[in-house]
Amino acid sequence: METDLIGTSIIGFSRGGKTAETFTAFDPASGNTVEPVFHSATNDELEIAAKLADEARLSYAAAAPVKRAAFLRSIADNIESLGDTLIKRASLETALPNARFEGERARTCFQLRMFADVLEEGSWVEARIDHAIPDRQPLPKPDVRSMLRPIGPVAVFCASNFPLAYSVAGGDTASALAAGCPVIVIGHTAHPGTAELVGIAVSKAVRDHQMPEGTFSLLFSAGYEMGQALVRHSAIKAVGFTGSRKGGRALMDFAAARPEPIPIYTEMSSVNPTFLLPNAIKERGNDIAKGLHASVTTGAGQFCTKPGLVFLPNDADSFVANFNSQIEQTTPPPLLTGGIRAAYVAGNLKRAGEVDNTAANEEAQLPGFAVNPSAFETTAIEYLNMPDLNEEIFGPTTLLIRSGEKEELLRIARALEGQLTASVHGTEEDLAEYADLIAILETKAGRLIFNGFSTGVEVCPSMVHGGPYPATSDGRSTAVGSRAITRFARLVCYQNFPQSALPNELKDENPQNIRRMVDGQVCQNRER
């Protein structure tokens, strides 16, 4: 496989031109630019990618699930065969260690293979069959069958903070390709070299598995216009995005304003409220302080699941001192981009004017995009009076909020915005005593965590990585786990179709032996 970067888009089986509009990646550790120069796609190239995706729509959707599964496995194999070239490039473009990318690559390939398993098992299509009853009185009942079918070409925006697992062949792309949808990816400007390498790996799999040319394209762009034009393009039928609330909201509005509005799944901002109940601090204060510090600072705090609001009892002085001293001893890490660094510095400055800045590493001259980790502190009353404190500051910082009464915690919980996660540390008795807090948090977050931290998202069938707005644009969905596939599918019903014209999944003989609901009964055998 070719691993020399040429810095142009991948449009079906062709490479884009070396256009005049260019940009480069940066090494966040030094702030220096990194070779090569990348060229923005032109509008004509976008049109070609969209036309190819539109042309591929039906033939790719018609590819048998086992063929699509083999294709997904081959993408994973190709990514692995990029070896150290991929790990080193991702590390160079992010200043995150190689080990991080060994883990992220494993997760990325696991996701692709998990969706291959989902396709081979086949029941994800939620097939339902209601047989006809021709002699039903007063009217005959028709034969009605339904299942999930691919929604059509999907636009995927890469995430800055997951160059592998949420970028070119990440969770959104894997779930869209699994669902039977061609994908056009907008590469993130922070890690274009990583994107090109993974794009080459996907492209090779498309050819090797004789998938239609438009199954996959990767567009580079120095500005926002290309992504906006893609979301507005009539060939695109759904969007996946991970990033800022500002960017996600802008794209949501574009998707809704189209002549034909389309579903958009944006994963935006979350401050992941973490409640430390009195018994937890008494019993495990030191362990919790250590775990919280790791959760706030790992990956330079650049996780959508970082705990950004921590509620703790009024008398937790030694816990706070312990946590703050760990923050003060943390080496200032480089953030992913100059823009993320500027947002972090501005967010810290604003917060320092609002509440107490209780811990910060005092190193003065920091290289590249490095920043000082920090911690802030306030009271529940101040927090409730200052809605701005709910804003996400992306990076290694958190806000500790002291509160007294249970009733105060319930008021806080009711005031929270939609979140990806909410965590509660306590005993089982606490859970019973604070049952009304849990009931409120269930309305606010996609994932509730007991005695654990919100960072670290397990990829498994039951995972929910979603939550009410503004955590995501659609709180009914998940971006992680096998259920993510349903975001890129829509229900289609077939009434009175002959067996020969039905999709395999809906034929009486059940040739794929999938789980189905037949005449109201869930069953998994070929007899029904």
The footprint of ligand NAP (CB under 6 A) covers 157-161, 186, 188-189, 224, 227-228, 242-244, 247, 250-251, 267-270, 304, 339-340, 343, 392, 394
Nearest to 76 by CA among 122, 121, 117, 15: 117
**Considering the complex, what minimum distance in angstroms separates the CB of residue 203 from ligand NAP?**
20
CB distance 487 to 263 below 8 Å: yes
**Considering the complex, what minimum distance in angstroms separates the CB of residue 391 from ligand NAP?**
9
Query: Alpha helix locations (H) across 151-191?
Result: 171-179
Query: Alpha helix locations (H) across 235-297?
Result: 245-257, 278-297
519 burial class (0-12, 13-18, 19+ CB within 10 angstroms)? exposed
Closer by beta carbon to ligand NAP, 128 or else 188? 188
304 is catalytic: yes
CA distance 258 to 74: 35
- Cis ω before 36 (30° cut-off from 0): yes
Phi first, then psi: give them for residue 203, nearest 5 degrees. Answer: -60, -40
Closer by beta carbon to ligand NAP, 292 or else 479? 479
Selecting among 45, 213, 304, 377, the annotated active-site residue is 304
Selecting among 267, 392, 408, 417, the annotated active-site residue is 267
CB distance 464 to 484 below 8 Å: no
Closer by beta carbon to ligand NAP, 157 or else 265? 157
**Considering the complex, what minimum distance in angstroms separates the CB of residue 251 from ligand NAP?**
6
Pairing of the two strands 264-267 and 419-425: unpaired
CA distance 263 to 151: 10
Query: Alpha helix locations (H) across 391-427?
Result: 406-415
CB distance 446 to 299 below 8 Å: no
- Per-residue CA distances from 333 to 28, 95, 312 (Å): 9, 9, 27
Sequence-distant (6+) residues with CB within 8 A of 86 are: 79, 101, 105, 164, 194, 197, 198
- Per-residue CA distances from 100 to 42, 96, 165, 367 (Å): 34, 7, 11, 21
Closer by beta carbon to ligand NAP, 152 or else 171? 171
CA distance 199 to 193: 10
CA distance 55 to 191: 29
Angle at the Cα of 157 from the Cα atoms of 88 and 19, rounded to 5 degrees: 75
- Write the DSSP symbol of residue 260: S
- Write the DSSP symbol of residue 502: S
Letter string b/e over residues 285-321, b meaning 16 or more CB atoms within 10 A of that residue's CB: beebbebbbebbbbbbbbbbbbbbbbbbbeebeebbe
Closer by beta carbon to ligand NAP, 278 or else 347? 347
**Considering the complex, what minimum distance in angstroms separates the CB of residue 270 from ligand NAP?**
6
| Three-state DSSP class for residue 148 | strand
Catalytic machinery residues:
267, 304
